Structure 1
Amino acid sequence: MTESNQKILPFLSFKGNAEEAVNFYISFFPEAKIISLEHITDNAYGEPGKVLNVLFEIMGQQFMAMDMDGTHSPEFSWAVSMFINCSSENEFDMIFGKLSESGFVMMGPEPVLEFKKVAWVTDKYNVTWQLVWK
C-alpha cells in the first residue's frame, strides 16, 4: 500500500462493492485516480478478491476504502458527508448529475445565502455529498 502524505484521510467501509464505487468516482471527478489497490488474498481478512484497501484521490483529496462483509459493515449515514467547493457551474452540474444517478437528492440544487447553488445528495453507494458553487 502506498502511503499518503495527508495526516487525516476519510476512510470508507463498503459492503463488498468498494472497487465498483471507487471506479465510479474516478470515472467523472476531475483529476481523480487510484493510487494503490490491494485485494484480499487470504480468507482470514475476508472474501478473496474483494478490496483489502484502496487509496484514491478526488480533486486533490485522498481517501481510503475497503470491503467489509455484510455482518460487520456499518451503514453509511448522512451525519458524515463529503463537502465539495465546485469551481464552476458546469463542474457543479456534472458532479451533481453523476452523484444523483440512482442516488437520492436530499436538497437542491438551489441558492442558499451567498451560494448560487447548493445540493445535498446520497449516491447509489449510500455515501452523502454536499456540493456548493459560489
Structure 2
Amino acid sequence: MSTVAHNSHITPFLWFDNNAEEAARFYTGIFPNSRILETVPNQTGTSPATAAVLLVHFELDGTRFTALNGGPQFPFNESISFVVHCATQAEIDDYWERLTAEGGSEVQCGWLKDKYGVSWQVVPAHISQLARSRKAMQALMQMKKLDIAALERAAQE
C-alpha cells in the first residue's frame, strides 16, 4: 500500500542567485490574488552570504511557488516557462508590460523573459483554439507580444 498522500500538490521551485525575496515581491505585485506566505531566514550557510532569506513561499493567483536563494549555479532558461492565459488584449498588454519592465525582454510568439531571466508566455485564453488554424499560427510566429484581434482575423481566413 502506498504511503503517498493522494492530495499532494505540485509546487514550482525557482532557484535564484540571491534575490528570491525581491523576485517574489515583484511577481506578487503583478498578479491578482497573490501574496508572500512565508520567508525562511538563511541560517544554513549554504546560500550566498548576501541573502538574508533562504526560502520564500508565495502564491501567484492561488498557485503556490517556492523561491530559493541558492547562488549562481543554475540560471533560468527557456526550457521551462509559465503560461499566463488572458481573456482580453488589455490583460495581455498589462502582463507583457509589467513582466518585461526593468530589464525584461521580449522574445517571440508571446514569450518573454522577465528581469530575473524567468520565461513567461502571455497568451489569449483561447490559444489552443487559435492554434488549430494554420494562418493564425503563421501570424503568431511573426509576433512578439500577441495581438488577439489579428490572430482571430487570421483564423477566419
Greater C-alpha Rg:
2
User: Hey, which of these two has a bigger chunk of strand by percent?
Assistant: 1
- After superposition, the CA RMSD in angstroms is 1.8
SS at structure 2 position matched to 1:69 = coil
Cα separation, 1, equivalents of 2:89 and 2:67: 29
**Structure 2 contact 19–51 (Cα < 8 Å) conserved:** no
SS at structure 2 position matched to 1:21 = helix
SS at structure 1 position matched to 2:26 = helix
Number of aligned residue pairs: 117
Tell me, which stretches of 5 or more residues in structure 1 are unaligned? 109-118
Greater RCO (Cα-Cα under 8 Å, separation 6 or more): 1
Per the alignment, residue 59 of structure 2 pairs with 57
Q: What TM-score do you get using the length of structure 2 for normalisation?
A: 0.68
**Structure 1 contact 40–48 (Cα < 8 Å) conserved:** no
Tell me, which stretches of 5 or more residues in structure 2 are unaligned? 1-6, 127-157
CA-CA distance at 1:87 after TM superposition: 2.9
Per the alignment, residue 37 of structure 1 pairs with 39
Cα separation, 2, equivalents of 1:48 and 1:42: 13
Overall identity of the aligned pairs, in %:
33
AA of the residue aligned to 1:104: S
**Structure 1 contact 13–66 (Cα < 8 Å) conserved:** yes
CA-CA distance at 1:126 after TM superposition: 0.2
Superposed CA deviations along residues 54-84 of structure 1, whole A, max 9, x for unmatched, are 11111121111110123xx201011110011
Q: Are 2:63 and 1:91 equivalent residues in the alignment?
A: no
CA-CA distance at 1:132 after TM superposition: 0.9
